[in-house]
Structure 1
Amino acid sequence: MKAPLNLVLATDLDGTFLGGTEAERRALYQELDARDDVLLIFVTGRDRDFIRELVETPGMPRPRYVIGDVGTSVFDGDTFQPIPTLEADIVSRWNDAGPRVREMLSAEPGLRPQPTPFRHRVSYYYDPEQLQPRTVARIEEAGFDCVLSADTYLDVLPRGIAKGPTLLRLVHALGLPAERVLTAGDTMNDLSLFQTGLRGVAVGNAEPRLVAALDALPPEQARLIHRPRAEGAAGIADAIRHFSLLPEAVA
């Protein structure tokens, strides 16, 4: 009989699950891999090909589910196939808007298209010195959401779609215990995770804009967010202990 879930870890990758020292990562990964009461979900801006290669790295835990592309795709972690029931609303809201978005932004200063082909978003590298406020306003006026993160990435997303809403959809659809979910992140594209009403950890290396945004959260949301000094994987381990989500604390 399968053990009941004590921890559903829904974690960003770069700077978060992949952050910290090698020893800190190894300790967390080994603990998670050794337990049958943990369900791992990657919630990332990365695409499917990157994650497929990542899980082949020796010692890397395999997620049961993947929310990729800043919340605009949902994959089975075993087969890496999309889950149509969880993507249906995303597909509908995006409505094959990629070509229209790229045309709309083709002459905007400070933007450089990311080379990866995305299914339900358009993404750029941006130069903070050149990006114009009118560019963000133009995206939003056209009916999309715009997320800036790490002073590097600009994502054009379907309105209302982000990491947090997609995670909530998955949690509800699968009947996962919301009180055992821990979200983890470090940049502004993780902010929506911390607005879900689920427990969260903003690791110690979180970008300043995310820290400022967390400071502005309503008290009922802010009290659910642990903000350790420890960075990356060590910060996640600290939060697991802080919220007592496993019977034995992660080392």
Structure 2
Amino acid sequence: MSPRRLLLCTDLDRTLIPNGVQPEHPAARKLFREFCRLPEVTLIYVTGRHQLLVEQAIEEYGLPEPDYAITDVGTQIYRIEAAKWQEMSAYGPDFGGLAWA
């Protein structure tokens, strides 16, 4: 039996980071970072932002580096390893070597 995996897909603006007047819970990002360190978690940011703005948000807000990013309103997909963004050519049933059933 393979170990259980958790796929976490999340937006950035007004979900993980503030954007507007809504206050942020003071422990939210710290708890999120701790959760994403769990080995069974695969993190994907899904955002309308383009790659550079995602990288800037990760740096500015101390967000965990995702395993993947779906950017530009779903038109670009990247696999991220050791801060290197590798563009993926297409969606498919075997997303980046991870078969999700």
Say whether the fold is shared (TM-score over 0.5): yes
Identify which of 78, 88, 92 aligns with 1:83: 88
Paired position in structure 2 for 1:6:
5
SS at match of 1:31: helix
Aligned in 2, Cα 1:71/1:55: closer, same or farther, shift over 3 Å? same
SS of residue paired to 1:13: coil
Q: Deviations over 1:84-110 (max 9, x none)?
A: 2x1xxxxxxxxxxxxxxxxxxxxxxxx
User: Which of 52, 77, 86 does residue 49 from structure 1 map onto?
Assistant: 52
Report the CA distance shift for 1:43/1:5 in structure 2 as closer, same or farther (over 3 A): farther
Residue 29 of structure 1, CA deviation = 1.7
- Report the equivalent of 2:26: 22
More strand by share: 2
Q: CA deviation at 1:59?
A: 3.7
For the residues of structure 2 that align with 1:173 and 1:52, how far apart are their CA atoms?
Answer: 25
The alignment covers a number of residue pairs equal to: 91
Give the counterpart letter for 1:63 in structure 2.
P
State the shift of 1:26 in Å.
1.4
> After the TM superposition, which residues 160-179 of structure 1 pair with which residues of structure 2 at under 5 Å, given as runs?
169=91, 172-174=93-95, 175-178=98-101
Output the CA distance in 2 between the equivalents of 1:21 and 1:42: 20
Larger helix share, 1 or 2: 1
The residue type paired with residue 9 of structure 1 is L
Question: How many Å separate the matches in 2 of 1:24 and 1:48?
Answer: 23
- When Rg is computed on C-alpha atoms for both structures, the one with the higher figure is 1
TM score, norm. by length of structure 1? 0.33
Report whether the alignment pairs 1:68 with 2:71: yes
SS of the residue corresponding to residue 48 of structure 2 reads coil
Q: Distance in 2 between matches of 1:5 and 1:54?
A: 29
What root-mean-square deviation, in Å, do the aligned CA atoms of Structure 1 and Structure 2 show? 2.2
Shift of 1:50: 1.0
Runs of 4+ in 1 over 4 A off after TM superposition: none
